[in-house]
Amino acid sequence: MDSRLEAIRDTVLSRNPGEAEFHQAVTEVFESLGPVHDRHPELLEAAILERLCEPERQIIFRVPWTDDSGRVQINRGFRVEFSSALGPYKGGLRFHPSVYLGIVKFLGFEQIFKNALTGMPIGGGKGGSDFDPRGRSDAEVMRFCQSFMTELYRHIGEYTDVPAGDIGVGGREIGYLFGQYKRITNRYESGVLTGKGISWGGSLVRPEATGFGTVIFTEEMLKTRGQSFDGQRVVVSGSGNVAINAIAKAQTLGATVVACSDSGGYIVDEGGIDVALLREVKEVERARLTEYASRRSGVAYVEGGSVWEVDATVALPCATQNELDGDAAATLVRNGLIAVGEGANMPSTRDAVSVFQDAKILFGPGKAANAGGVATSALEMQQNASRDSWTFEHTEARLTEIMVGIHDRCAATADEYGDPGNYVLGANIGGFVKVADAMLAQGLI
């Protein structure tokens, strides 16, 4: 890392102790930015990096609610409004027991650059809670969401901060959150949340967008080497929103997806995953992958273990941060891997990224490859603002155009900075330059 940036990074780390994921995300971005500061020393004088690493606002709040037996439960809620240089804060809410400030800040920091890469007018933010929706009844999830929104509502708004879903927050949760926002404010403000249901202000393609977009980005990377998804053997981690839609899109393009996982284990289905059955099990019944294995012949279920042990030519990590380490990366490379598209945020550890890059594997980092979700959220905001709703075909065409644009911008930036094919460098510099320009123009705020 450039020594000037290393000094700034060290200060950021010491000002934010105990936030390992935030430290990792900051370090990874700083490692790419030395050459930009050589060309533009004015960025150092304006302390752009120091400002970017300090969120504009951080909100931490108590979320009290009662479970079905009447017992009082207390969770912690977060919203980190990182950067409004390019538009209202935009980023999802994550409900998972692992959530703490360091995770929300890593996600919010990544979101700034991701959102810049989309070319849409959206700033960066993220939020969530250590609430675990798994095993909770609909009524408990509703009471939790209502309590969460009872505090959050005063901080958000269509021109201020526009949350969406992430791990543990899907259509059901967005519905309860929107209902409570409307009730408190007495305003039908569609643009305050994205990921809404289609009949009440949502956008077609939003549920599919992150997974679809990841596959579209990966397909563009494959094309640079004269290849495509057609005929590839694909392994996906996770079996939530992003994973399921990545599987669906990859198979539409002619790939066979042979494995996916949840936090309990993974399935291997050599015939190609049956997407309709997977949706039924995970989205409708909210059941485990064991259920998929029990209903389809020829499927192996492996409890625990790593899905990355299954050989593949394309890997799509779509579960969570740091789920693919250096050893797993080395195994994948030995087994014939040619490309990785990150559907999740920061799923590959820094060691894993080095293994992929050393082996000249096509590697699409999450902040570029999974930007289709937030881009389609911005399309949802556009439809809400004009009180319009677009067809599936039109919205999917816009998503494809945006993903191809992000790919090309990352590739062109990597070329410009002398490291062709390095999408990590391309994404970090491409996103940063846009935000930095806006910050310089807007003065010291």
Could you list the active site residues? 126
Which region among 15-23, 36-44, 317-325, 411-419 touches ligand NDP (by CB under 6 A)?
317-325
CB of 326 to ligand NDP, least distance (A): 18
Cβ closer to ligand NDP: 6 or 132? 132
Contact (Cβ atoms closer than 8 angstroms) between residue 305 and residue 327: no
CB of 364 to ligand NDP, least distance (A): 13
Residue 341 binds to ligand NDP (criterion: CB under 6 A) = no
Residue 240 binds to ligand NDP (criterion: CB under 6 A) = yes
CB of 126 to ligand NDP, least distance (A): 9
134 phi/psi in degrees, rounded to 5: -65, 130
Is 127 flagged in the annotation as binding? Answer: no
Contact (Cβ atoms closer than 8 angstroms) between residue 110 and residue 428: no
Token pair in block for residue 367: 């902040």
Residue 238 binds to ligand NDP (criterion: CB under 6 A) = yes
Which region among 33-41, 51-59, 259-267, 291-299 touches ligand NDP (by CB under 6 A)?
259-267
CB of 169 to ligand NDP, least distance (A): 7
Residue number with the shortest CB distance to ligand NDP? 240
Cβ closer to ligand NDP: 241 or 422? 241
Residue 395 binds to ligand NDP (criterion: CB under 6 A) = no
Q: Work out which of 239, 313, 348, 428 binds ligand NDP, going by CB under 6 A.
A: 239
Cβ closer to ligand NDP: 95 or 390? 95
Residues 66-105 that bind ligand NDP (CB under 6 A): 98
Is 377 flagged in the annotation as binding? Answer: yes
Q: Work out which of 19, 161, 219, 262 binds ligand NDP, going by CB under 6 A.
A: 262
Residue 49 binds to ligand NDP (criterion: CB under 6 A) = no
Is 261 flagged in the annotation as binding? Answer: no
| The CA-based dihedral angle spanning residues 75, 130, 188, 191, taken in that order and rounded to the nearest 10 degrees | 150
Residue 193 binds to ligand NDP (criterion: CB under 6 A) = no
> What is the three-state SS of the chain?
CCHHHHHHHHHHHHHCCCCHHHHHHHHHHHCCCHHHHHHCCHHHHCCHHHHHHCCCEEEEEEEEEECCCCCEEEEEEEEEEEECCCCCEEEEEEECCCCCHHHHHHHHHHHHHHHHHHCCCCCEEEEEECCCCCCCCHHHHHHHHHHHHHHHHHHCECCCEEEECECCECHHHHHHHHHHHHHHHCCCCHHHCCCCCHHHCCCCCHHHHHHHHHHHHHHHHHHCCCCCCCCCEEEEECCCHHHHHHHHHHHHCCCEEEEEEECCEEEECCCCCCHHHHHHHHHHCCCCHHHHHHHCCCCEEEECCCHHHCCCCEEEECCCCCCECHHHHHHHHHCCCCEEECCCCCCECHHHHHHHHHCCCEEECHHHHCCHHHHHHHHHHHHHHCCCCCCHHHHHHHHHHHHHHHHHHHHHHHHHCCCCCCHHHHHHHHHHHHHHHHHHHHCCC
CB of 253 to ligand NDP, least distance (A): 20
CB of 328 to ligand NDP, least distance (A): 13
In the chain, the amino acid numbered 112 is: I
Residues 155-174 that bind ligand NDP (CB under 6 A): 165-168
Residue 242 binds to ligand NDP (criterion: CB under 6 A) = yes
CB of 420 to ligand NDP, least distance (A): 26
Residue 370 binds to ligand NDP (criterion: CB under 6 A) = yes
CA angle 315, 127, 245 (to 5 degrees): 30
CB of 6 to ligand NDP, least distance (A): 28
Cβ closer to ligand NDP: 82 or 417? 82
Residue 210 binds to ligand NDP (criterion: CB under 6 A) = yes
- How many residues form the binding site for ligand NDP (CB under 6 A)? 23
Is 223 flagged in the annotation as binding? Answer: no
Residue 320 binds to ligand NDP (criterion: CB under 6 A) = yes
Residue 345 binds to ligand NDP (criterion: CB under 6 A) = yes
| Cα torsion 283, 192, 189, 154: sign | positive
Cβ closer to ligand NDP: 43 or 315? 315
Is 102 flagged in the annotation as binding? Answer: no
Q: Which residues bind ligand NDP (CB under 6 A)?
A: 98, 165-168, 210, 238-243, 262-264, 318-320, 343-345, 370, 373
| Residue positions forming the annotated binding site | 90, 111, 114, 165, 210, 241, 377
| Residue positions forming the annotated binding site for NAD(+) | 210, 241
